Amino acid sequence: GESVGLHLPTLSVQEGDNSIINCAYSNSASDYFIWYKQESGKGPQFIIDIRSNMDKRQGQRVTVLLNKTVKHLSLQIAATQPGDSAVYFCAENSGGSNYKLTFGKGTLLTVNP
């Protein structure tokens, strides 16, 4: 779900479980989506992207699913590891803009050993 004020949505999982992080994007004209991972004290790190002509894309241990009908994006992390603990942001290219990204407020993933 979406965050309110300073309270980030949180997801806590056990090491080895699969994680699913959800994001609702805002602009139906957006055609490029990215997931970023941000560890404490660091800048966002690119994880995976997807264009609107696809509904699924897989990377190493990560899968992004796109449902344009309901404007929903999800990130699946397989066999979650403690190093996956971070805040995860989805971003959309602001209604088809060539460069301007609009970021969600993020989800805090905590992996328990």
Partner 1 sequence: GAGVSQSPSNKVTEKGKDVELRCDPISGHTALYWYRQSLGQGLEFLIYFQGNSAPDKSGLPSDRFSAERTGGSVSTLTIQRTQQEDSAVYLCASSDRQGGTDTQYFGPGTRLTVL
4 binds partner 1 (CB under 8 A): no
6 binds partner 1 (CB under 8 A): yes
Cα–Cα distance measured from residue 14 to residue 85, given in angstroms and rounded to the nearest whole number: 11
Which residue in the set 25, 106, 109, 111 belongs to the binding site for partner 1 (CB under 8 A)?
Answer: 106
Site for partner 1 in 30-69 (CB under 8 A): 32, 34, 36, 41-46, 49
For the chain, how far is it from start to end, CA to CA, in angstroms? 25
Side chain identity at 14, as an amino acid letter? Q
Least Å distance, CB 29 to partner 1, is 16
Angle at 23 between CA 20 and CA 27, to 5 degrees: 155
Cα–Cα distance measured from residue 18 to residue 14, given in angstroms and rounded to the nearest whole number: 9
Residue 94 near residue 103 (C-beta atoms within 8 A): no
1 binds partner 1 (CB under 8 A): no
78 or 101, CB closer to partner 1? Answer: 101
- Binding residues for partner 1, rule: CB under 8 A, are 3, 5-8, 32, 34, 36, 41-46, 49, 89, 91, 93, 98-106
